[in-house]
Amino acid sequence: MAHARPLVMKFGGTSVGTPEAMAQAVAIIRDAHQRWRPGGVVVVTSALAGVTDRLLRGVQAAARGEHDAVPQARAWLAERHRAMLEALIPPMERPALWGRIETLLETFAQLGWAMTVLGEVTPRALDAVAALGEQMSAPLLAAALRAQGVPATMVDAREIIVTDAHFGAAHPDEVASRERIRARLQPLLAQDQVVVVPGFIAATEDGVTTTLGRGGSDYSAALIGALLPAEEVWIWTDVDGVMSADPRLVPDAHTIPELSYREVAELAYFGAKVLHPKTIRPVIEANIPLRVRNTFHPEGPGTLIRQERAAVPGQIKALTVIWDLSMVTVEGRGMLGVPGVAARTFAAVASTDTSVLMITQASSEQSISFIIPRGRGPQVKAALEETFARELARKDIDRIHILAPVAIITVVGEGMRETPGVAGRIFGALGRAGINVIAIAQGASEVALSLVVAEDEAVDAVRALHPLTRDITRPA
Ligand code: ADP
Ligand code: ASP
Ligand code: MG
């Protein structure tokens, strides 16, 4: 079949993390390059597995005064990349590529030194460090492709993805990026080149390096896919697609053949690590199908994500968990009469720069509860106590209470919409397993229902609920 528009394929850290894995990625890309014509193939790559973590841990330790941390990390990083070079790159090409990697490692050493001296890390400097991993993996993958006879050119993402200066989770400027992506990639694709782009990294208009947030290579691929535009975006990872639950928690989790954009958006938002939560929006807007596939099992069909079609009533597709959270409750009988309590509560939370994952309010209006990352608990409690000092003194608000650690379990499926029995099945399964549900919330989209449980009951809760997803294997 002819493909007029390009295919964007993203390879995650484990998919390029060892010489064997990268060789497998090269084979997949070579095959796609043969088949995906005349549109051509754009490849987005992560850093080798573990590299981003190691870079960041290195400089954070340096800032705490641990002088050995960066040299040790540098040696480890050099060894990881050298092994790839020796396995995948012909001897003639190694010196130039090695020189490039050495320069990046030297930058790492210097940034680490600067942070030791300063005793602090700024978000901007952290992005400069985090971005080094993809700057090493992308030229390596391009060279490994050429070594197998695939014409490949690397294009630095910092030349084509323009973002604001929100370091650590920069926001792309789609208009500026679209123009550059097209101008830079289309001519190369027309020359039959596979274009290799480092994921995760970008730059401001002034050329300062930024990153799109941890796990952000998925987002890079979706953005490039939407702005080119591509015919499809494929995310190659280390599992057979989006599964009914994290396979590390539920060993008999199964791959879900098809999901709607909305379902996958809820899954990603509520903690399914397989896709970065921002990945979905660009592909929805451009209506581009997204596939999640296994680099180590490429013959599998994976998961296809696209606009929803008729949902199966009552069908639950998947479960996710977010760990390490706190539930904050503002409660008091006098709250009924106090105007603007909710607005003041969330203004106080916002002033601490904390994101709220979920909100519930009892119908009596005598309490508001919300969920935040556990580490933010003390700041949030202090901010609330300050905001409501008067109400607390007057006992209009009895207390501001933190329950921790808790987890949010989210049940996802388009079929849950307007299907009455689903909640009953969920609570029945949890009740039989003896699990206490602390709070509930349902999103406006009605494709997800979230439950708060004590963290030490979360694994049991997911395992108790997982049989409900089996419906999916029955024909509609
Ligand atoms: P990559 O490096 O390829 O981006 P990630 O580690 O970011 O890979 O994401 C893949 C991992 O996500 C899987 O190995 C799996 O453990 C985890 N995961 C969590 N929830 C799910 C889910 N519902 N379906 C598939 N994988 C999941
Ligand atoms: N390498 C980056 C990270 O580890 C981005 C990614 O892998 O998607 O967060
Ligand atoms: Mg990932």
Å from CA of 464 to ligand 1 middle: 21
**Ligand 2 binding pocket includes 204 (Cβ within 6 Å):** no
Q: Across 205-214, 301-310, 446-455, which has the greatest mean pLDDT?
A: 205-214
CA–CA separation, 274 and 246 (whole Å): 9
**Any idea where the domains of the chain sit in the sequence?**
7-238, 318-469
pLDDT at residue 444 tops 80 = no
100-156 confidence digits (pLDDT tens): 999 999 999 999 999 999 998 999 999 999 999 999 999 999 999 999 999 999 999
On average, the pLDDT of the chain sits at 94
Residues composing the chain: 476
Query: Which H or E element spans position 367?
Result: strand 367-373
CA–CA separation, 131 and 202 (whole Å): 9
Pocket test for ligand 2, best of 11, 16, 46, 209 (most atoms within 8 A of CB): 46
Pocket test for ligand 1, best of 246, 249, 269, 278 (most atoms within 8 A of CB): 246
Å from CA of 392 to ligand 1 middle: 44
CA–CA separation, 461 and 374 (whole Å): 20
User: Mean of the pLDDT values across residues 94-104?
Assistant: 98
- pLDDT on residue 341: 87
The residue whose CA has the least distance to atom 4 of ligand 1 is: 12
**Ligand 2 binding pocket includes 46 (Cβ within 6 Å):** yes
**Ligand 2 binding pocket includes 210 (Cβ within 6 Å):** no
Q: Does domain 7-238 have CATH number 3.40.1160.10?
A: yes
Q: Across 75-84, 308-317, 437-446, which has the greatest mean pLDDT?
A: 75-84
Ligand nearest to the CA of 199: 2
For 77-91, 320-334, 358-372, which range has the lowest pLDDT when averaged over its residues? Answer: 358-372
- pLDDT on residue 364: 65
Contacts of 31 (CB under 8 A, 6+ apart): none
Atom in ligand 2 nearest the alpha carbon of residue 276: 8
Which 8-state DSSP code applies to residue 311? P
For 269-308, b/e burial (b = at least 16 CB within 10 A) is: bbbbebbbbbbbebbbebebbbbbbbbeeeeeebbbbbee
329-355 confidence digits (pLDDT tens): 999 888 776 778 889 999 999 999 999
pLDDT at residue 474 tops 50 = no
Supply φ then ψ for residue 209, to 5 degrees: -65, 135
Residue 476 banded pLDDT, cuts 50, 70, 90? very low
47-74 confidence digits (pLDDT tens): 999 999 999 999 999 999 999 999 999 9
Pocket test for ligand 1, best of 53, 217, 274 (most atoms within 8 A of CB): 274
Q: Which is more confident, 120 or 243?
A: 243
Does this model's pTM top 0.85? My answer is: yes
- Give the whole-number percent of the chain exceeding pLDDT 90: 87
Prior bond of 247 cis (ω within 30°):
no
**Ligand 2 binding pocket includes 45 (Cβ within 6 Å):** no
Å from CA of 345 to ligand 2 middle: 34
Supply φ then ψ for residue 19, to 5 degrees: -55, -40
User: Mean of the pLDDT values across residues 314-332?
Assistant: 94
**Ligand 1 binding pocket includes 360 (Cβ within 6 Å):** no
Supply φ then ψ for residue 44, to 5 degrees: -110, 130
- pLDDT on residue 475: 42
The residue whose CA has the least distance to atom 11 of ligand 1 is: 274
- pLDDT on residue 421: 83
Instruction: Judge whether 354 and 383 are in contact, CB under 8 Å.
Output: no
Cβ atoms < 10 Å from Cβ of 35: 11
The residue whose CA has the least distance to atom 6 of ligand 2 is: 215
pLDDT at residue 471 tops 70 = no
CA-CA-CA-CA dihedral for 135, 141, 144, 149, to nearest 10: -120
pLDDT at residue 366 tops 90 = no
**Ligand 1 binding pocket includes 17 (Cβ within 6 Å):** no
- pLDDT on residue 472: 43
Å from CA of 417 to ligand 2 middle: 34
**Ligand 1 binding pocket includes 274 (Cβ within 6 Å):** yes
CATH level 2 (architecture), domain 318-469: 2-Layer Sandwich (3.30)
Ligand nearest to the CA of 267: 1
Count, in order, helices (H) and strands (E) of the chain.
Answer: 15, 17
- pLDDT on residue 365: 66
User: Mean of the pLDDT values across residues 369-387?
Assistant: 96
